């Protein structure tokens, strides 16, 4: 005898109700494992702590970073759309030099030159392989600082933000007044050129240091560089309190899901 629709629904409902606590716990763990895998190997959240990429990225922007597209291709995932790093890509990477405390620092900059490119700046304007670049997203300095704006024609001053390693290595990569990007490396700069400490100051970005590329803002909160410079536990707790207190008023709602490009 065939079951009626009501009987089948009743049986399905009874089966669902018979799920044990252990089975429910296993289901939750499965979801958590998948989420953890995605956040560890596929995506990563990243907060913008400085103004070096304004106005493309603002202090307090929280972006979702794609860790897969620019990763080295693997044979076990042929369905993934891997690709090489392109000029103009915004990338998240480890700074080539360690901080004074021995730790790696995450940075976000725009790729200006790829291996083989010839680069120089005149009055803050980039010339790539002899052609001046149209960069509408870039902020150019109004004041004058020769090393920063006429790179690499002017050698780094003795007292500056240029690392000692880069000051020694820089002349090895200059040909006919141009900086030549070596194989396996990239030249990256911030869109806010007057304040950005970038490849002009610490050198090329190794391919292996590139973590991924930001996709979009999932949240943007009006902040200052000082907010991200706090390291003490008390300061961090106070920062969390400020976010909770001013979440509505200081959230930049118009930047939610804003694509990074």
Q: Provide the pLDDT confidence category of residue 1 given band limits of 50, 70 and 90.
A: very low
Stronger pLDDT, 239 or 66, i.e. the higher one: 66
**Are the CB atoms for 91 and 85 separated by under 8 Å?**
yes
Judge contact between 210 and 65, C-beta under 8 A: no
The pLDDT assigned to 13 comes to: 53
Look at residues 185, 212, 187 and name the one whose alpha carbon lies nearest to residue 201.
187
Between the two ends of the chain, the Cα-to-Cα distance in Å is: 63
216 close to 258: Cβ distance less than 8 angstroms: yes
pLDDT at 7 over 90: no
Give the C-alpha separation, 146 to 124, whole Å: 9
Beta strands in 123-201 (DSSP E): 125-128, 131-132, 174-175, 178-180, 185-189
pLDDT for the residue 36: 47
| Predicted pLDDT of residue 212 | 93
Compute CA distances 117 → 35, 55, 74, 86, 129, whole Å.
Answer: 40, 26, 27, 12, 6
> What does the pLDDT look like over 190-242, one tens digit per residue?
999 999 999 999 999 999 999 999 999 999 999 999 888 776 777 767 777 78
Q: What is the DSSP string of 89-108?
A: -EEEEE-SS--TTS---EEE
Q: What percent of the chain has pLDDT over 70?
A: 80
Tell me the domains of the chain and their CATH numbers: 39-115+181-255 (2.10.109.10)
Q: Measuring CA to CA, which residue among 205, 178, 15, 3 is closest to residue 97?
A: 205
- In this structure, of 63-72, 84-93, 106-115, 236-245, the range with the lowest mean pLDDT score is 236-245
CB neighbour class for 76 (10 Å; exposed up to 12, middle 13-18, buried from 19): exposed
**Tokens (6 digits) for 105:** 């620092």
Cβ atoms of 65 and 213 within 8 Å: the answer is yes
**CA torsion, ordered 195, 201, 206, 212, to nearest 10 deg:** -10
The mean pLDDT of 110-136, rounded to a whole number, is: 97
Average pLDDT over residues 157-164: 89
CB-side neighbour CA atoms (13 Å) of 242? 14
């Amino acid at each position: 005898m065939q079951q009626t629709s009501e009987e089948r629904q009743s049986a399905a409902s009874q089966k669902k109700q018979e799920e044990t606590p252990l089975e429910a716990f296993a289901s939750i763990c499965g979801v958590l494992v998948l989420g953890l895998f995605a956040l560890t190997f596929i995506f990563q959240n990243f907060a913008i702590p400085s103004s070096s990429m304004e106005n493309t990225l603002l202090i307090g922007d929280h972006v979702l970073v794609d860790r897969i597209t620019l990763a080295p291709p693997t044979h076990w995932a042929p369905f993934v759309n891997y690709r090489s790093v392109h000029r103009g890509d915004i990338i998240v990477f480890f700074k080539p030099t360690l901080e004074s405390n021995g730790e790696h620092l995450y940075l976000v900059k725009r790729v200006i030159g790829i291996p083989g490119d010839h680069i120089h700046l005149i009055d803050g304007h980039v010339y790539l392989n002899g052609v001046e670049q149209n960069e509408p997203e870039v902020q150019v300095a109004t004041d004058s600082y020769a090393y920063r704006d006429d790179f690499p024609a002017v050698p780094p001053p003795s007292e500056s933000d240029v690392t000692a390693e880069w000051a020694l290595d820089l002349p090895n990569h200059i040909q006919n007044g141009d900086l030549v990007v070596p194989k396996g490396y990239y030249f990256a700069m911030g869109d806010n050129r007057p304040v950005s400490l970038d490849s002009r100051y610490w050198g090329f970005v190794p391919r292996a240091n590139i973590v991924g590329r930001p996709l979009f803002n999932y949240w943007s909160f009006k902040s200052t560089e000082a907010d991200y410079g706090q390291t003490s536990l008390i300061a961090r707790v106070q920062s969390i309190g400020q976010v909770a207190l001013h979440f509505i008023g200081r959230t930049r709602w118009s930047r939610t899901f804003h694509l990074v490009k």
